[in-house]
Amino acid sequence: MHIHKYERWWMTFGVGMLIAFLVLLGVAAFADNINPPSGMQQIDPAKVAETPPFDKPGLHKDSDKTYDAYYVAQVFSFNPSSITVPAGSTVRFYVTSPDVVHGFFITHTDVNMMAVPGWVNLAEHKFARPGTYLLICHEYCGIGHQNMFGKIEVR
């Protein structure tokens, strides 16, 4: 089979770009350790309601300005739906899901992760300024997806 010279150049270019991007992805993931937010902690999705600390979702005070917030994301709500912390607090958000993949995004912060059945994901944020922050599910999870939200009150 005869392949035209220019066609061969394009094929070489295409395969070369594919290899270059895969190498960059590998370097970012393994050498730079850039990964999706995840505590790499596993949980049985069928037993979330009985597994501490997710049997009692909510806000737990860790120290003076540090809190742990345990969230269960489920069709179609967050538990807890609302938390209140003083301004200047650092909150560690632990999130899991007993059903399907949900999103966990807090507006005006860099907290942006997924709630994945079988996994506990973790993100941390310091709320310097008072205000109301919206927590939204930004992964399509079913017919009530658009109603899935919560809030973080910073006083």
Say whether residue 48 binds ligand CUA (CB under 6 A). no
Give the side-chain half-sphere CA count within 13 A for 128: 2
Which of 111, 114, 148, 152 contacts ligand CUA by CB under 6 A? 148
Establish whether the linkage from the previous residue to 36 is cis, with ω within 30° of 0. no
Establish whether the linkage from the previous residue to 76 is cis, with ω within 30° of 0. yes
Residue with tokens 């269960």: 72
Give the containing element (helix H, strand E) for 115: strand 112-115
Say whether residue 141 binds ligand CUA (CB under 6 A). yes
Nearer to ligand CUA, 37 or 60 (CB): 37
Rounded to an integer, what distance in angstroms lies between the CA atom of residue 90 and that of residue 86? 9
Say whether residue 91 binds ligand CUA (CB under 6 A). no
**How near is the Cβ of 138 to ligand CUA at its closest, in Å?**
7
Task: Please give the residues from 101 up to 130 whose contact with ligand CUA meets the rule CB under 6 A.
Answer: 102-103
**How near is the Cβ of 139 to ligand CUA at its closest, in Å?**
5
Measured from the Cβ of residue 76, the count of other Cβ atoms closer than 10 Å reads 17
Nearer to ligand CUA, 102 or 116 (CB): 102
79, β-bridge pairs? 72
Which DSSP state fits 56?
S
Number of residues that bind ligand CUA (CB under 6 A): 9
Say whether residue 95 binds ligand CUA (CB under 6 A). no
List residues near ligand CUA by CB under 6 A: 76, 102-103, 137, 139-141, 145, 148
